[in-house]
Every structure is written in C-alpha cells, then in structure tokens.
Structure 1
C-alpha cells in the first residue's frame, strides 16, 4: 500500500553506514508513503539494501552534485508532496502522517517542515543552544495566522536558516522551478527558502520533533565548514535581506553557529 500524496526519496551517496537505519525509519511510518531511493554513486552496498527492503533504486546518469542530486531525486517521485530523506538521518513514525495531514489543511502549501532533534555520537540530543534558537525563531509560524505571510517568513529568514532541510516536505507543484539552484555548497537550502518565501502560499511548521538530524564528521556541512568556513555564502544570503553593513555584522555573529556543526560541541 502506498500513499498517492507523499513520497520519501532517500538520497544515497557512496556507502554510508547509517543508510539502513534511515531506510528502516521511513518504511516503518504509520502513514504509508511511497519509498524510493536515488543515487549518483551506484554500488553493490546500495543495491543490496534496496533489494532487502524492496525499494526501487533510481540511478542518476547525468550531472551530479548536491543540488543536482536533490533535483534528480525529486524528479523520480510521482506524488505532489516529496521529502528528500538524507541518508544519515532518522524519521520518526508519525512524520509522514503529520505532513500529509498538514498538506490537506492548507489551500496552497509550499513547504511543510518539522522540529527535530540531533544525533551526536549515537545519542539523541533534544535541546542545545542552536536548537533552542531555531525554535524561538520559528514561533510565529506555529499556527495558521502567519503561515501565508511573506513578510513574517522573510523576517525569520533574514536572521538565518532556522528550517531543518531534511525535515522538509516539498509541495512540488506549488514551488518555482528549478527547486534548487546550483550555486552554493552549504547554503543551497537557505537560498531555496528565500526564493520560496516570495511565493503565494504557506510555510507550514509542525512544532513536534518528527525526525533526527545526524551530526558527524563525514557530513557535507561539517566537511565544508572545516575546509573553508562559509562566511562568504552567509554574507551573500544576508545581503538578500539587509544593507551590506548590516549583513557584515550578522555574518560575524552567525559564524558562531558553525561551531554547532562540530561533533564535539
């Protein structure tokens, strides 16, 4: 039995030791959803897991990269609501049911996203400084009152990206195309939210934690910050909302949040 509304597309890369845990979490949902997998690095490890859990594996033969892989993944889904499931993360059993119910309650959903926990060293972290800040920033979107307000969501985004990317379900038919731009290495999601924020429709925030995002040294965000930091990308994003001099101040403050992507903080 599959949902005609929602699809989990697992984005798999190389041979992640956490991939099977992610697969188990999406196939065990209380609300049945289509589950497929997309990869630009096909290998026997991924094929064996797809066979084990009876999941169709779509192999990207075109251009690869973070946004290219995400766009390919979404193109493989046939439902109007799609979650790009990151291979290292875990989705709690009520995630699909919650996003599908939310999708049905709004006239024009754009994205539906949830609160989340972190996984550090195999342990679930329910609260820390960064999580608390993000939850505070998203308070205005907890109800229907401001979900359709472009001004409110742009004010939230003007202070940083509080939306957890792997928690997002995309109402693909209501969003601008392409969904993602091949521009940034770490802020590709923030850039997408900024573009979507200009559209008519709703940003729907489910305040219940419905997934867990894994922080580990092999993640793309952690690796990029360790290599180069991301101040230039942050500065470019802040300039979309603020004059240059304010953007520079915000970058200096925002840089402190990078420490939260270190496994040992």
Structure 2
C-alpha cells in the first residue's frame, strides 16, 4: 500500500527541513523526486542523499516566486526526466529570514507583499506549471503545505503569514473542485509546530510551546512526509479539497 512506483514528484522548498523529509519519504516509496530549492547546493545535497539511499532524485533549483523561472524549469525537467504526477507545494516561510512576530496594527505595509509572494503566489506558480500536463494525462496530485495559522486566529503576531497560508488553503480547495473530473486531487496540510532543529534553527520559544501539544512533542519532517505519501497514493484517490490537520492534536477539529 501507499506505493509511488512509476510516479514523479516535484517537492518545492525541499533543500531542508520538512521539504527534505517529504522528498526522502516519497523516494523511499518509489517515486522519482525533483528536489527544488532556491539554493542550488541545498537541493543537490538532498538529491544526493536520496540517491545514496537507493532512490531516484534530481536537483531542480528555482525561486517559486519568480513566475518567469518556474515554468521553464519544470518543462525542462519533464523533457529530460518525466512528467510531474505529484506536486508538493512546500516552499514557504514567515516572510523573510529574521522575521519577528508582529501584530497587524504594528506591521509595515511595505512588508505585506513578501508574505503573499512565497506562501500564496509561489503555490500558484508551481501549480500552474504542472497543471496542464496533469489534465492532459488525467491524473495528478497537488498537496499544499499550509499551517495552522491559516485555519485559526492566533495571538502570536502571525496575521500576515496566516493570511497568506489561508489563501493557499482556499486556492487548493477551489483547484480540487475545478479539476476533480480530470483525475486530479488537491489537498492541504495545516502543519502544527515543527522542531526547528530540522531546518538548522534554534528551538527558542517552540520548545516551551511544545508542552501544550497533547502528544507531548514537536513535529518532525517525517510526520508531514508520511501524510504526503498517503495523499499522493492511489489509496487516497477519493480524498480531495480537504485540509488535513497534522499537529499532534493542537488543535483538534
């Protein structure tokens, strides 16, 4: 069950953290994986690690926010390797390196765009690049990595990030309905608190916040990767337009 042999997956933002975990698990289940990252060296490092473990992987660096770069990169990959059957829209962040939680009232309007660029328009750019091919073949899986901040109000200064992630969730729902009759499923994952050490960052406040998680620990990349493998598999073909809460029980729905 949950095998991906004969499928090709593109995972954006897969050079570290959750994205790397997703790419590695998909390869382990048999998919050929295009490892995308804005930093070419990170993408190649993860792809090499997958190959060393016996999987099939290719580095595919590009910036998902650069609409003019995404489609040509995907088309070149598909010509050389294989059409993309599975897209995992994982690339995203809090707006920029060094982001500080800020209430909306205190935010600078000049900062608003960057949250949408990566967390919403990046999703749209990558999806548009693979969608025509999926429709032509009448098969596709689109999985958007979102956040609990996109499904609930939080008093921790992430309103701009939450708005962009909420937009990505809404986009994915509409995509699912528009293309359900063409063999394409589209689902989102509202990710809870992930251990920042998986991306080489300091644990900081998240360790204390983890105490409030019912299962008693922070999430790991493989927690999200396993969900993606299931949603990409044949066994999940009747699941579309849904938002999966993968968060250790905080909150429950």
TM-score band, normalised by shorter chain: 0.3 to 0.5
Q: Give the structure with the higher percent strand.
A: 1
TM value normalised by structure 2: 0.35
Q: Give the structure with the higher percent helix.
A: 2
TM value normalised by structure 1: 0.34
